Homo-oligomer: A and B are copies of this chain.
Amino acid sequence: MTLERTGVDRGAQPVRITDVAALAGVSIGTASKALNGTGQLRDSTRARVKDAAEKLGFVGDARARALSSGRTYTVGMITTDSFGRFSIPVLLGAEDALSAGQMAVLLCDTRDDHVREAHYLRSLAARGVDGIIVTGRSADARPPIDVSIPVVYAFTPSTSADDVSITLDDEAGSAAVAAHVLTLGRSRVAVVTGPSRHRSAERRVAGAASVLGSRLVTPPLFGEWSERWGRQAVDVLARQSPDVDAIVCGSDQIARGVCDRLRELGRSVPGDVAVTGFDDWDVMALASRPPLTTVDLRLEELGRVAGQALLGLIDGGAAASASVAPALVIRESTAGP
């Protein structure tokens, strides 16, 4: 049972569990167990506590609290991403912010299925949730959902500028990593990234190019988000631009493939070629040989910001779209011996 006061000022002083415990002549712990139906207590003790709670009008029960406030203290989180590498940290950050705001979170995994999404939206409406967070696996914008309660889009923005979308600042992250490469004294840099149709690939290239300028020795190589593409890109570069001294990659998977292939070709990282990733995905960035300098997406922070924005909207305040800047993480692939 949640035993907090609900809100700052709902009229008279709310009754507290301490009041209930005092009236029943038991400890707070015992009162809590009695009201929650947990623990080993005598029936008579349980009954005495419940009587006291009733006499005082104690509202510890979330359902009662919901009825009295017209709110359900429940928020829906809709994700299209069953795999979860991107959406799960976002969900966790949002859940952190929302549970601090006494909100319970209903998880709705739509699996990229429009029918399933529509079903969930009806179900959330029927449950009277106070708001919805929408997330997904892609940074590409998606059409807004059609509901009349507060909604915040996290990581995956809405196509509507009227909506509140909290996104990742890919350009800033990529600019930071490119600037780091220049501070190492590298001057013949290549960029290897994912498919050009992906907003994140395109924006990461833009961020890096803005910093690298003429130090970019070849047009960005667009391919796929895979280690294999990283290995293939090294072969392309070995023919086209054999004097490259740094490779800025659009993901950790690509960077790991780049490192593997460079090693196979007898080129040292970072001695001959500095390599950077993007994502700070531990199983890639730390398992890479050498471990990768990369960009931490700070997705939990992004989720937290989204959760706080939603709490603000639910409380009747305003919230604006924002982007969260990722953080440079320096490891051996640029800073090694």
Chain A residues at the B interface, C-beta cutoff of 8 Å: 1-4, 6-8, 10, 32, 36-39, 59-63, 72, 74, 77, 82-84, 88, 91-92, 95, 99, 104-107, 109, 121-123, 125-128, 146-148, 226-228, 253, 283-284, 287
Residue on B with the closest CB to A8? B146
Which residues does chain B contribute within 8 Å of A83, judged by CB atoms? 88
Which residues does chain B contribute within 8 Å of A63, judged by CB atoms? 72, 126-128
A38 pairs with B148, CB closer than 8 A: yes
Some 25 contacts from A to B, beta carbons below 8 A apart, are A1-B122, A1-B125, A2-B122, A2-B123, A6-B121, A6-B146, A8-B146, A10-B146, A10-B147, A10-B148, A38-B121, A59-B125, A59-B126, A63-B128, A77-B107, A84-B88, A88-B88, A91-B107, A106-B106, A106-B107, A226-B287, A227-B287, A228-B287, A253-B283, A283-B283
Partner of A61, one of B126, B146, B147, B226: B126
Partner of A122, one of B59, B84, B147: B59
Given contacts A91-B107, A107-B77, contact A4 B125 (CB under 8 A): yes
